[in-house]
């Protein structure tokens, strides 16, 4: 029996709650319910109103939804005049009472509203869904950003590492959990139950997830791991149906080949760093032969950047139409001879190309580099799926977690945005920069 998996499953059951039937409503508008909930003192009536608010929100039309978030944004914002008066009072007399009053005034009413709604059993997941709907509206309604700051502030507290429950996902896990792993997989689609089984059942495969006590049946994030010999250069090899299963004790490398955030409403609340550290600790204790921890990661922004780069640096080894043809047909035959050129461009993109804030353009790179990893290697033809071709011409990258240098690399990236790399990747990036500076490299070299 897997003791750690059994322990996590047992622990999670302590927090499970039965489904809650939402009260449909007593005729009050959703905004009237919010006003009454803020003003209420009774716990029972607060539960009742909180349930009604959640039920009413789930039934809002698109226009009503915008009106509701407008209400939260404007009518439940800070009272600036009160805040200024209490700031002046605290400057004059720094008593605990004045301090408490100032803290209360410095918080928008909508934060307290969300806290009171969250007292309803099972409401946490509904509030996560509410924020997911808010995020969809932000592009066209940037004023809602103030309300989103409050959601993110509260979720950062409610979903901090101390509340998260790690669980290993295995073939014997409940079917509703396995169904959600299939649904939420965001990197390499799981095609069917047989595909899922190949990822979680064999002895050389692992899947770990974080859960929250208020959402025990809905993973927040999960990572898929392959135990292998050597650093892999292709996800096709990892996901092959007829591959030879490796005895765990024969493996020397753990590969994080897919990390999926499951809850759109928790965007900006980071779990990945904690999950990776948790999994590394678990594997070190369980499989003593593992000495290396790497990823096999996508490069989601590469093709978009490459088109822009080609436009800025004409007469490249590969023309934009070659890339478009490969994406359209799903075939990389026309680019195969230029794989080394593509690897150089990818190295340049990952290491040298920065945004206005000085951070790498690629979101996956930012995630792993901030966690203390280094860019270890870049592989052509590593992901030949339609998505892999579409976003990066089939390229993938290994990020290496050197356990002795994680803190050093994290601090270097956090303080100066330093991108640590292997010598081979640095050579690729230097060659790309040399080519752009006019000393043209031979075609395909």
Q: State residue 318's pLDDT score.
A: 67
Virtual torsion, Cα 56, 61, 67, 72, nearest 10 deg: 40
| pLDDT of residue 85 exceeding 90 | yes
Give the model confidence (pLDDT) of 174-194 as tens digits.
999 999 999 999 999 999 999
Higher pLDDT: 23 or 237? It is 237
Query: For residue 3, what pLDDT band results from cuts at 50, 70 and 90?
Result: very low
Give the model confidence (pLDDT) of 35-51 as tens digits.
999 998 777 778 899 99
Query: For residue 440, what pLDDT band results from cuts at 50, 70 and 90?
Result: very low
Question: Token digits for 296?
Answer: 């096999």
Higher pLDDT: 387 or 25? It is 387
Mean pLDDT computed over 417-423 = 96
| pLDDT of residue 10 exceeding 60 | no
Give catalytic status of residue 58 as yes or no.
no
Closest residue by Cα to residue 326 from 309, 346, 306, 347:
306
Query: For residue 2, what pLDDT band results from cuts at 50, 70 and 90?
Result: very low
Q: Which domains does the chain have, with CATH numbers?
A: 3-11+162-295 (3.40.630.180), 30-120 (1.20.140.90), 302-436 (3.40.630.150)
Contact (CB, 8 A) for 378 and 395: yes
Query: For residue 271, what pLDDT band results from cuts at 50, 70 and 90?
Result: confident
Q: State residue 445's pLDDT score.
A: 40
Catalytic residue among 12, 188, 260, 368: 368
Query: For residue 256, what pLDDT band results from cuts at 50, 70 and 90?
Result: very high
Give the model confidence (pLDDT) of 147-177 as tens digits.
999 999 999 999 999 999 999 999 999 999 9
Give catalytic status of residue 368 as yes or no.
yes
Give the model confidence (pLDDT) of 304-346 as tens digits.
999 888 887 765 566 677 777 666 766 666 666 688 889 999 9
pTM: 0.86
DSSP 167-227: EE--TTS-HHHHHHHHHH--SS---SHHHHHHHHSSTTEEEEEEEBTTBTTS-SEEEEEEE
Catalytic residue among 297, 309, 376, 379: 297
- What's the residue count for the chain? 445
Q: State residue 314's pLDDT score.
A: 63
Q: How far apart are CA 270 and CA 258, in angstroms?
A: 16
Mean pLDDT of the chain: 89
């Amino acid at each position: 029996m897997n003791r750690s998996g059994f322990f996590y499953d047992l622990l999670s059951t302590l927090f499970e709650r039965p489904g809650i039937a939402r009260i449909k409503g007593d005729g009050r508008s959703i905004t009237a319910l919010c006003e009454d909930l803020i003003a209420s003192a009774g716990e029972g009536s607060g539960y009742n109103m909180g349930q009604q608010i959640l039920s009413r929100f789930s039934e809002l039309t698109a226009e009503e939804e915008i009106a509701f978030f407008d209400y939260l944004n404007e009518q439940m914002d800070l009272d600036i005049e009160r805040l200024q008066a209490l700031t002046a009072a605290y400057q004059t007399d720094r008593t605990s009472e004045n301090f408490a009053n100032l803290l209360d005034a410095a918080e928008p009413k909508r934060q307290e509203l969300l806290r009171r709604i969250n007292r309803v059993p099972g409401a946490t997941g509904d509030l996560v869904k509410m924020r997911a709907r808010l995020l969809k509206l932000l592009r066209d309604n940037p004023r809602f950003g103030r309300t989103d700051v409050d959601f993110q502030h509260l979720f950062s507290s409610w979903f901090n590492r101390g509340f998260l429950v790690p669980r290993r996902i295995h073939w014997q896990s409940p079917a509703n959990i396995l169904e959600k792993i299939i649904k939420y997989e965001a990197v390499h689609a799981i095609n069917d139950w047989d595909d899922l089984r190949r990822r979680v059942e064999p002895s050389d495969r692992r899947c770990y997830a974080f859960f929250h006590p208020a959402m025990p049946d809905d993973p927040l994030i999960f990572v898929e791991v392959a135990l292998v010999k050597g650093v892999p250069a292709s996800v096709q090899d990892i996901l092959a149906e007829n591959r030879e299963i490796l005895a765990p004790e024969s493996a020397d490398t753990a590969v994080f080949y897919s990390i999926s955030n499951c809850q759109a409403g928790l965007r900006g609340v980071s779990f990945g760093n904690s999950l990776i550290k948790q999994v590394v600790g678990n594997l070190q204790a369980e499989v003593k032969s593992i000495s290396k921890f790497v990823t096999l990661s996508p490069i989601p922004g590469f093709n978009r950047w490459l088109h822009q780069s080609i436009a800025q640096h004409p007469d490249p080894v590969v023309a934009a139409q070659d890339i478009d043809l490969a994406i359209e047909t799903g075939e990389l035959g026309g680019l195969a001879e230029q794989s080394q050129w593509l690897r150089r461009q990818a190295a340049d993109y990952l290491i040298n190309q920065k945004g206005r804030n000085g951070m790498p353009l690629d979101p996956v790179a930012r995630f792993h580099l901030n966690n203390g990893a280094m860019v270890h290697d870049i592989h052509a033809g590593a992901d030949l799926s339609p998505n892999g071709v579409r976003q990066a011409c089939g390229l993938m990258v290994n990020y290496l977690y050197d356990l002795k240098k994680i803190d050093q690399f994290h601090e270097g990236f956090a303080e100066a945005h330093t991108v640590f790399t292997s010598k081979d990747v640095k050579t690729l990036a230097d060659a790309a920069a040399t080519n752009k500076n006019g000393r043209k490299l031979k075609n395909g070299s």
